[in-house]
């Protein structure tokens, strides 16, 4: 079967094809078709079902181009894979606006899983975002926190994570207390810098409107009018998780993020994140979002690495 799609903007067509046609080559490989450019027209050649699905892939990608965003090899692969497997549950490519970053560029959910995660945060007071590295769990949570702060829905942003070393001993760290804990909290600083800008972040931090603290410092506090994020929650114990969740005060929102495949706790300690799934899953107002390798928005090799490790760990019984 052959089908020709006509477009009225050559720049959008060039955006679709990408550098050295890398986007279209990825679509051709996944869908098993040939895609041939003819000016502003695109001809698709292949089996009927594949041609029809490829047409839908191209139409969804063109919506991204019309929104003024760059089409990448990554989102080309993502949409083509979902449509090939019949797993695309939304009529539109999910590019929901969350907020502007420090450079005025819009931050959007880039996958259907991310869209569900953002919607979950909007609709629940406590949300658990669980998934592998690179799926935007922390970044989107910080973006939602900044959005709530900018719109006066909350008065403070509080970010915390357990100070657990990732499988290596760092030894003695020189300097005052802040310099000792900063390496553990650096990923949170990075997200805030990108979204708010260093100067705006520093001003808010000095006024106490933004706090970035180790989890141990949360004990004994009651946090009203706050957007609170617990990052790397797979490295909390059951007792720490309970302590953290009970800090929540009135008019506050809590997001807990973690990757259950990267638990760095000693062997005799159970992850508070794993326990919370069993204990809290049926409580109204508590939402769980599960992101997968499909939602990875880093280099496409990250998806392949995650799949390879999952396959190995499932086969050897080492997962958890």
- pLDDT tens-digit series, residues 216-240: 888 889 899 999 999 999 999 999 9
Confidence of residue 168 (pLDDT cuts 50, 70, 90): very low
Report yes or no: 240 and 129 within 8 Å, Cβ to Cβ: no
CA dist 243 to 217, 222, 239, Å? Answer: 11, 11, 6
Residue 169 has a pLDDT of: 43
Q: Report how far apart the first and last C-alpha atoms of the chain are (Å, whole number).
A: 47
- For helices 73-84 and 300-316, what crossing angle results, to 10°? 50
Whether the predicted pLDDT of 303 surpasses 80: no
Report yes or no: 42 and 35 within 8 Å, Cβ to Cβ: yes
Q: Which residue has the higher pLDDT, 71 or 314?
A: 71
> Which of the residue ranges 24-33, 242-251, 293-302 would you say has the lowest mean pLDDT?
293-302
Q: Are strands 126-130 and 97-100 parallel, antiparallel or unpaired?
A: unpaired
Distance CA 236, CA 163 (A): 9
Whether the predicted pLDDT of 90 surpasses 50: no
Distance CA 105, CA 103 (A): 6
Confidence of residue 117 (pLDDT cuts 50, 70, 90): very high
Confidence of residue 181 (pLDDT cuts 50, 70, 90): low
Q: What is the mean pLDDT of residues 96-108?
A: 75
Confidence of residue 93 (pLDDT cuts 50, 70, 90): very low
């Amino acid at each position: 079967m052959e089908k020709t799609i006509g477009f009225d903007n050559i720049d959008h067509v060039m955006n679709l094809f990408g550098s050295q046609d890398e986007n279209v080559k990825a679509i051709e490989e996944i869908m098993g078709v040939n895609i041939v450019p003819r000016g502003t027209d695109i001809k698709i050649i292949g089996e009927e079902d594949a041609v029809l699905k490829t047409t839908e892939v191209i139409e969804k990608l063109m919506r991204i181009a019309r929104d003024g965003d760059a089409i990448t090899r990554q989102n080309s692969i993502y949409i083509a894979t979902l449509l090939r497997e019949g797993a695309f549950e939304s009529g539109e490519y999910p590019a929901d606006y969350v907020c502007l970053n420090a450079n005025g560029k819009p931050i959007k959910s880039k996958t259907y899983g991310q869209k569900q995660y953002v919607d979950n945060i909007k609709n629940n007071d406590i949300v658990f975002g669980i998934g592998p590295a690179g799926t935007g769990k922390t970044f989107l949570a910080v973006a939602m926190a900044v959005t709530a702060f900018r719109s006066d829905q909350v008065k403070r942003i509080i970010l915390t994570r357990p100070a657990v070393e990732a499988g290596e001993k760092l030894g003695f760290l020189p300097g005052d207390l802040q310099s000792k804990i900063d390496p553990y909290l650096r990923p949170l600083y990075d997200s805030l810098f990108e979204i708010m800008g260093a100067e705006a972040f520093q001003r808010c931090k000095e006024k106490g409107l933004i706090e970035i603290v180790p989890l141990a410092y949360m004990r004994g506090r009651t946090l009203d009018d706050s957007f609170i994020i617990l990052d790397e929650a797979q490295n909390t114990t059951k007792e720490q998780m309970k302590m953290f969740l009970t800090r929540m005060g009135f008019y506050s929102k809590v997001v807990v993020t973690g990757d259950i495949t990267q638990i760095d706790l000693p062997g005799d300690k159970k992850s508070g994140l794993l326990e919370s799934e069993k204990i809290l899953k049926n409580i109204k107002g508590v939402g769980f979002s599960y992101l997968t390798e499909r939602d990875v928005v880093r280099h496409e090799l990250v998806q392949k690495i995650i799949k390879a490790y999952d396959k190995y760990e499932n086969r050897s019984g080492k997962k958890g």
